[in-house]
C-alpha cells in the first residue's frame, strides 16, 4: 500500500486579475500558507506556465520548478482540460467551444483540432521536462449529443465514434509514451469518456494503449447515479490522478438528473465544496489506499454556494484529515513464521 500525497489544489478555478491570483508566485504563496503541498497547473493560463517554452527548454522548467519549490510546493500535474476538449468537438458545440481556442483558430474546426493536438503534445514534453509522470486532461466528445438514444442511434455509430476519437488521440498517446508520461482522462459528463463503459470502449479502441489512465473525480458519478466506490474496485489499476470535489443529488417532483436547464444552484445534481455534499470520502481514501494507488489528492473547487476562498481554505484541512498513512505492519504478524507442516497437522488433528 501507498500513502496518498497531499493536500494539493487545482489552480484553475481561482485565477483572477487581482493579486494574489494573477501570478505564479502569488498563487504559490497563497496555496502554501493554507497548508497545501502541491499545485495542479492549468496550462491555458500563460502567466502560470509558458507551454511553448516548457516544451522547448529544460532550463525554463527547472526555473519554474524552483519557484514552486521555494514555497514548499510540488507540481502534481499539468492540465490540458480545455485543449484536450478541443481534440474532438461535434459541430453542434463549435461556437461555444471556440471560446477555448486562440482567436486565429476560431471558426475553423480543422485548424482548431490540429492546434489542440499539437498543444497537448507539447504538454507531454513539458511534463517530462518538469519530472512529472502523469498529466490531466479531457477526452473531448464526438458522440455526446447522442447519449440519450432519441432519435435512435443507427447501428455502428458508437463504434465509429470511438474509432475516430482513438484515431485523434493515438498520436498524442504515442508522444506521451515516448516522454514517459501517463494521460489521465477526467471521466466527466460532456466527454465521450464519462463512465466506466465508455472508458473501456476508448481503451479498446486504442488497443489498450498503456498510457490511457483515469483522473478519478467522484462528483461526476453522483450526478450520474453511478456507484463511485465500486468504480474504484473496477478501475483502480488505471486511476493515476484524483480530484477531491464533492457533489449532491437531490431530485424532487419537478427536476431530476437532466436538470431542467436550470443554473447550477437550482439543479437536482450540483457540485459542492469538499465535505458539504453527499460523497463518502472516508471510503474513497480507504479504497485508494488499500489498492496502493500512487497519486495526489487534488482539491478542486466548483461550489454553487460557498466562496472559492473559503472552499480552498477548508479543502486543505479536509484532505489532510482524510489521508491515511498506510501501514507497513500486519497486526497479526505474531502468528506468522516458518511453515511447520507437523505443527499444522497437529492443529488440524490429522
- What are the residue ranges spanned by the domains of the chain? 5-348
Can you give the pLDDT at residue 35? 98
Instruction: Return all residues near 276 (Cβ < 8 A) that are at least 6 apart.
Output: 246, 248, 303, 305, 306
Contact 172, 183 (CB under 8 A): yes
Torsion of CA 83, 88, 92, 96, to 10 degrees: 0
In the prediction, which pLDDT does 333 show?
Answer: 62
The pLDDT assigned to 328 comes to 73
Residues 202 and 162 sit within 8 Å (Cβ to Cβ): yes
C-beta atoms surrounding 317 within 10 Å: 14
Q: Indicate the pairing of strand 212-216 with strand 239-244.
A: parallel
Name the packing angle between helices 58-69 and 24-33 (round to 10°).
Answer: 40
Fold designation for 5-348: TIM Barrel (3.20.20)
327 three-state secondary structure: coil
Report the pLDDT value the prediction gives residue 147, as an integer from 0 to 100: 96
Mean pLDDT by 10 residues, the chain (350 residues): 96 97 98 98 98 98 98 98 98 96 97 98 98 98 96 97 98 98 98 98 98 98 98 98 98 96 97 98 98 98 97 98 86 69 92
Give the whole-angstrom CA distance, residue 207 versus residue 177.
Answer: 14
Amino acid at each position: 500500500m501507498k500513502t496518498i500525497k497531499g493536500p494539493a489544489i487545482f489552480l484553475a478555478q481561482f485565477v483572477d486579475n487581482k493579486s494574489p491570483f494573477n501570478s505564479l508566485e502569488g498563487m504559490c504563496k497563497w496555496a502554501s500558507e493554507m497548508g497545501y503541498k502541491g499545485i495542479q497547473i492549468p496550462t491555458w493560463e500563460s502567466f502560470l506556465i509558458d507551454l511553448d517554452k516548457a516544451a522547448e527548454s529544460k532550463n525554463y522548467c527547472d526555473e519554474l520548478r524552483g519557484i514552486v519549490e521555494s514555497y514548499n510546493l510540488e507540481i502534481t500535474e499539468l492540465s490540458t482540460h480545455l485543449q484536450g476538449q478541443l481534440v474532438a468537438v461535434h459541430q453542434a458545440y463549435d461556437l461555444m467551444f471556440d471560446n477555448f481556442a486562440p482567436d486565429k483558430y476560431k471558426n475553423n474546426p480543422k485548424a482548431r483540432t490540429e492546434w489542440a493536438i499539437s498543444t497537448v503534445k507539447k504538454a507531454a514534453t513539458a511534463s517530462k521536462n518538469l519530472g512529472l509522470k502523469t498529466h490531466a486532461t479531457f477526452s473531448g466528445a464526438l458522440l455526446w449529443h447522442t447519449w440519450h438514444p432519441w432519435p435512435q442511434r443507427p447501428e455502428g455509430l458508437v463504434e465509429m465514434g470511438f474509432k475516430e476519437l482513438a484515431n485523434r488521440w493515438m498520436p498524442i498517446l504515442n508522444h506521451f509514451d515516448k516522454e514517459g508520461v501517463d494521460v489521465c482522462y477526467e471521466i466527466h459528463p460532456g466527454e465521450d469518456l464519462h463512465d466506466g463503459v465508455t472508458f473501456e470502449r476508448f481503451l479498446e479502441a486504442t488497443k489498450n494503449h498503456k498510457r490511457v489512465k483515469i483522473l478519478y473525480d467522484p462528483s461526476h458519478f453522483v450526478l450520474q447515479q453511478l456507484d463511485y466506490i465500486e468504480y474504484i474496485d473496477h478501475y483502480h489499476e488505471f486511476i493515476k490522478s484524483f480530484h477531491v470535489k464533492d457533489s449532491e443529488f437531490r431530485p424532487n417532483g419537478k427536476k431530476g438528473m437532466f436538470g431542467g436547464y436550470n443554473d447550477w444552484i437550482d439543479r437536482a445534481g450540483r457540485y459542492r465544496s469538499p465535505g458539504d455534499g453527499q460523497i463518502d470520502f472516508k471510503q474513497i481514501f480507504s479504497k485508494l489506499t488499500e489498492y496502493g494507488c500512487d497519486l495526489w489528492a487534488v482539491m478542486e473547487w466548483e461550489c454553487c454556494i460557498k466562496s472559492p476562498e473559503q472552499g480552498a481554505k477548508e479543502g486543505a484541512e479536509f484532505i489532510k484529515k482524510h489521508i491515511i498513512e498506510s501501514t507497513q505492519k500486519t497486526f497479526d504478524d505474531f502468528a506468522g513464521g516458518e511453515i511447520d507442516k507437523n505443527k499444522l497437522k497437529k492443529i488440524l488433528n490429522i
